[in-house]
Structure 1
Amino acid sequence: MTAQLESIDIYVTSRRALDERLDEAVKNLQELALRTGKHGILVARNQPGHYTAALSDQVPFGITRELLR
């Protein structure tokens, strides 16, 4: 079973905005992950301009992975 503990939806219209928003989301999730030391971060592209960054029990602590859908 996969647990999604905390997630951040990102909606953008430009590459620059995407880079900024993803960096911010990953930084915030890293801070949360440090509290438990048990979860990594999974970034998924849901559709053009819509991404989700989330803590995941399927990603080792200290790792950020991209999910291609």
Structure 2
Amino acid sequence: MTTATLERIPAAAEPTGGPAVRSLSLEFSSASEVHAGLEKAVAEMIEVAAKDAECGIRVTRLHPGSYTVALDASVPFGETYESFAA
């Protein structure tokens, strides 16, 4: 079972022309779900990043099963970096 917490307004309540999603917080209950879940989140961030072409994407592992996928100005556009929280 995957539990994903998105830091955004649900689509039905999202105002037209409102701010795009800049980060996603993800929680996975099994290792087998991590790869597919992160791929989906990165694909969503690619769509957002392509609109501005100003930054890349950083995937951060916070602890086992917990990740953030976010637009990051320190990552060059068109690239995705991985990191571990300290």
Q: Which residue of 1 aligns with 2:73?
A: 57
The count of corresponding residues between Structure 1 and Structure 2 is 65
Report the TM-score when normalising by structure 2: 0.71
Q: 1:11 aligns with which of 27, 40, 50?
A: 27
1:5-64 CA-to-partner distances (Å, cap 9, x unmatched) read 711011002222111110000000000000001110000011111000000001000000
Larger radius of gyration: 2
* Sequence identity (%): 35
Counterparts of residues 1-40 of structure 1 (less than 5 Å): 6-40=22-56
Query: Quick one: distance in 1 between partners of 2:51 and 2:32?
Result: 30
Structure number with greater CO (CA < 8 Å, separation at least 6) is: 1
CA-atom RMSD in angstroms: 1.1
User: Any stretches of 5+ residues in structure 2 without a counterpart?
Assistant: 1-20
Question: Which ranges in structure 1 are unaligned for 5 or more consecutive residues?
Answer: none
Structure 1-normalised TM-score?
A: 0.88
